[in-house]
Amino acid sequence: MYLIKVDKQASFGDLIDLLDEIQICDIPVGHYAEVELTEAESLELSK
């Protein structure tokens, strides 16, 4: 299972590019999901 977590700096185009790569790699539907970043993850990314 792949979890897709995007931060506020990611653009819609970034997400589309990522979904294109998932399709190119032939990852089946149901094996990935977009989820929210936790507060701890957001803090870690801002360092």
**Which sequence spans correspond to the domains of the chain?**
2-45
pLDDT at 37: 93
- Give pLDDT tens digits along the chain (47 positions): 999 999 888 999 999 999 999 999 999 999 999 999 999 999 998 88
pLDDT at 5: 94
Contact 41, 5 (CB under 8 A): yes
pLDDT at 31: 96
